[in-house]
Amino acid sequence: MIGNTAAAKAVDPGILQGFRAVSTASVHEVMGRRGALDAGLRPLWQGIRMCGTAFTLRARVGDNLTLHQAIYAAQAGDVLVADAGGYTEAGMWGDVTTTAAMARGIEGLVIDGAVRDVESIRQLRFPIFSRGVSMKGTTKKSLGEIGVPIAFGGVTVNPGDLILGDEDGVVVVPKKIAAEVLEAARRKEAHEEELRQQLRAGKTTLELLGFDEVIRRLEQES
């Protein structure tokens, strides 16, 4: 099944570029602590940074044919978001698919499953967040779905949503609110920089964040 893959270009390129300068933690916080994929999806290498529009797919367990299909259905700037059923006993993605994806301008992969050829992928610096790593091979006999909404890592991901990843994890930003989330994240990070400057000058987190009063109240209640 192929859904509306054209929706993946809904986020303005300027907004996408802006998200490259903010952290996943800031974005998660300003969205009311929503949108974070579960902590089991981990970056494949240190220093990782990923930002793009979601190209969603659902693959059959242990079969990566749909991933091959998605590489050529997606567009430059997309991040492949692959529901592979959480299965970690087969490497659904490797250095061959990585090379193919990079040639197409794909920004990265988030997969609820396993990958392999880790050393090669690290050298290529292709951003991947996965559930695990497995050297075991896959079949290529059945098709799943591409360009459809998926429930992924505890979050619903729609085609064209914004996907942001760094070493803290991955957060999904609904495309309809991307602009306002970006502005809120920028304000939060500017405020935090002001806090850091005051801490260097001798202030404490207790006074700056109002925790002194919270601690006094809790001590009185105990």
CA dihedral over 118, 100, 50, 82, signed as positive or negative: negative
In this structure, the answer to whether residues 171 and 188 fall within a common structural domain is no
Q: State the pLDDT at residue 118.
A: 98
User: Under 8 Å CB-to-CB from 192, ≥6 apart: which residues?
Assistant: 26
In this structure, the answer to whether residues 202 and 92 fall within a common structural domain is no
DSSP assignments along the chain, one per residue: -B--GGGGG-S-HHHHHHHTTS-HHHHHHHTTS--BPPTTSEESSTT--EEEEEEEEEPPTTB-HHHHHHHHHS-TTEEEEEEEEEEEEEE---HHHHHHHHHTT--EEEEEEEE--HHHHHHHT--EEEEEE-----B-----EESS-EEETTEEE-TT-EEEEETTEEEEE-GGGHHHHHHHHHHHHHHHHHHHHHHHTT--HHHHTTHHHHHHHHHHH-
pLDDT at 6 over 80: no
* Number of Cβ atoms within 10 Å of the Cβ of 135: 11
Q: What is the pTM of this model?
A: 0.92
Give percent of the chain with pLDDT exceeding 70: 95
The string of pLDDT tens digits covering residues 73-123 is 999 999 999 999 999 999 999 999 999 999 999 999 999 999 999 999 999
pLDDT at 147 over 50: yes
Confidence of residue 3 (pLDDT cuts 50, 70, 90): low
Residues 159, 146: Cα–Cα separation, whole Å: 9
Domain count, the chain: 2
In this structure, the answer to whether residues 15 and 68 fall within a common structural domain is yes
In this structure, the answer to whether residues 91 and 144 fall within a common structural domain is yes
pLDDT at 2 over 70: no
pLDDT at 1 over 80: no
Mean pLDDT of the chain: 95
Q: State the pLDDT at residue 8.
A: 46
In this structure, the answer to whether residues 103 and 12 fall within a common structural domain is yes
In this structure, the answer to whether residues 189 and 106 fall within a common structural domain is no
The string of pLDDT tens digits covering residues 182-193 is 999 999 999 999
Q: State the pLDDT at residue 222.
A: 82
Q: State the pLDDT at residue 7.
A: 45
Domain that holds residue 216: 184-221
Span 26-40, average pLDDT: 97
In this structure, the answer to whether residues 212 and 145 fall within a common structural domain is no
In this structure, the answer to whether residues 189 and 170 fall within a common structural domain is no
In this structure, the answer to whether residues 196 and 141 fall within a common structural domain is no
In this structure, the answer to whether residues 170 and 189 fall within a common structural domain is no
In this structure, the answer to whether residues 84 and 155 fall within a common structural domain is yes
Q: State the pLDDT at residue 9.
A: 55
In this structure, the answer to whether residues 46 and 141 fall within a common structural domain is yes
Task: Write the CATH number for 87.
Answer: 3.50.30.40
